[in-house]
Every structure is written in structure tokens, then in C-alpha cells.
Structure 1
Amino acid sequence: MRLRMVEYRGVLSATMIYDALPINDHFRLIDDDTVLGVMDMRGLDRPLMFVLRRDDGDG
């Protein structure tokens, strides 16, 4: 797995590139605690979107 800056839909984004899988995960910062992720996988009609939120460890 590698992490690179890749242009995705016209915006430079942090991208996780999987060596053995046809998947690129693109990440964009929303705010200090939130990241939007987009899984772009060969063969899918449209990408899968997900949100990552910081866990402050309380609770």
C-alpha cells in the first residue's frame, strides 16, 4: 500500500493505493476532526463514499 497525492475529479487529494487490489481511496479534509473518503474501485459503476471522524477517546 502507498499513500500519494493524486488529482481526483480536478482536486489534488491524498490517495491510498493498494498494491494487490484495484482500489484507490481518496481523502479530503472537511475540518479538524472529519475526513471524507471516496473508494474508487475498478468495476464499480460509481464510487463508495465514507466519513472518518476523530475519536477523542471519551466514552
Structure 2
Amino acid sequence: MRQIQYRGKVSAGMVYDQKSIIDLFRKVDEDTLLGVMDIKDFFPDKSYFFVLRRINEP
């Protein structure tokens, strides 16, 4: 994990050692992260967006 500037803002980035993939994360609220996956080798002009939500179980 490291800080990476993405679209003008600093985000948490997960950089993989053996793959040209970077996953970037930004906090939306206490239970939600917005994620972006950039894969440079296969899809250089596309980003994949996803949402991670914490489930608070009793």
C-alpha cells in the first residue's frame, strides 16, 4: 500500500509486485470505499470501478 495521486487527489493504492495492476481506494463514509482497478497491460484506456461496504453484523 502506498499513497498515489489519481485524478488530482491522493488515494490509497495497492500495487502488485508481479502484475501491472494498481487498485486505488477512496473513503466515501465510515462503511464504504470506492475502488478503481487499472490494468495497464491488457486494458490501457479502461478503469474498473467497484464499491466495498462493511457489513456490521450483530
Task: Verify same fold: TM over 0.5.
Answer: yes
Which AA in structure 1 matches 2:46? R
Which of the residues 25, 28, 50 maps onto 2:23?
Answer: 25
Task: Give TM-score, length-normalised by structure 2.
Answer: 0.89
**Within the alignment, does 1:51 sit opposite 2:47 as a pair?**
no
Instruction: Tell me the alpha carbon deviations over residues 2-38 of structure 1, each in whole angstroms, 9 at most, x when there is no partner.
Output: x000101111000000001110000000000000000
Task: Give TM-score, length-normalised by structure 1.
Answer: 0.88
Aligned partners of 2:8, 2:30: CA distance in 1, in Å?
Answer: 23
RMSD (Å), alpha carbons: 1.0
Which of the residues 2, 5, 9 maps onto 2:3?
Answer: 5
Aligned partners of 1:41, 1:9: CA distance in 2, in Å?
Answer: 16
Task: Could you list the structure 1 runs, at least 4 aligned residues long, displaced by more than 6 angstroms after superposition.
Answer: none
